[in-house]
Amino acid sequence: METQGIEQLFNDDYHEDEVFSATDLSHMELKGLTFEGCTFSSCKFAETVITDTAFRSCSFSDCQFILTHLVRVTLDTVTFSSCTLMGVDFTHCSSFGFSPAFHDSRLSHVIFSDKSMRKSSIRSCTLLESDFYSCDLTESDFSSTRFEKVTFNTCTCEKADFRTATGYIIDPFTNRLHNARFSLPEAQSFLIFLDLTIDES
């Protein structure tokens, strides 16, 4: 892969197998671009507006997405590793091929709504004050992810793996959890929805 500068990014509409390193795209607009097999390393997308743009088989490493606006953006087999995402709403991303994966990343105040995310991977992440609305999370892997004030509302979490996740609170009456995998003591969080008290003495 050949490393490209910011000028090359805007000179072409189509980018394949290119590397963008330490590129600051904050407060800029990306529109009508296609990235295939590209790598983004230590890039910044603070308040960047990204519209009608496709990322396919791309990876983001140590990148920052702060209040990034995503409109009709395709995220097809895209991996975020050691990234920071804050205030990002994925609701208006294209549903076709929507398959982002997050590893060792920090997600704060992010929103996933009405998305099929079957077999998604959100591993070894920190999720803070974020929301999943009407998402299909069937067979998703949340291994070693820490949740804090994260809402799951009318989601399908069947066969999802929460065994090594911590801090989650999922209402079993408003979400589908058939054959989802949990472990103690975290699974005790379900008791608050069952109006039960367990006496350990």
Region 107-114 average pLDDT: 97
Domain boundary residue, one of 87, 106, 125: 106
Q: Are residues 169 and 102 in the same domain?
A: no
For residue 2, name the pLDDT band (cuts at 50, 70, 90).
low
pLDDT tops 80 at residue 9 = no
Q: Are residues 11 and 76 in the same domain?
A: yes
Measured over the CA atoms of residue 34, residue 37, residue 41 and residue 46, the dihedral's sign is positive
pLDDT tops 90 at residue 125 = yes
- What pLDDT, on a 0 to 100 scale, did the predictor assign at position 41? 96
Domain boundary residue, one of 106, 131, 149: 106
* Mean pLDDT of the residues in the chain: 92
What CATH number does residue 170 fall under? 2.160.20.80
Q: Which residues span the domain enclosing 42?
A: 1-106
For the record, the structure tokens of 6 come out as 């910011």
Q: Are residues 87 and 184 in the same domain?
A: no
- What pLDDT, on a 0 to 100 scale, did the predictor assign at position 137? 97
Give tens-digit pLDDT for 30-89.
999 999 999 999 999 999 999 999 999 999 999 999 999 999 999 999 999 999 999 999
Closest by Cα among 107, 146, 114, 164 to 130:
107
- What pLDDT, on a 0 to 100 scale, did the predictor assign at position 190? 72
As for how many domains the chain has, the answer is 2
pLDDT tops 90 at residue 8 = no
C-alpha of 28 from chain center: 22
Dist. CA 26–CA 19, nearest whole Å: 18
Dist. CA 177–CA 170, nearest whole Å: 9
pTM: 0.90
Distances (CA, A) of 83 to 32, 130, 141, 166, 192: 24, 16, 18, 20, 33
Q: Are residues 11 and 101 in the same domain?
A: yes
Beta carbons within 10 angstroms of residue 54's beta carbon:
20
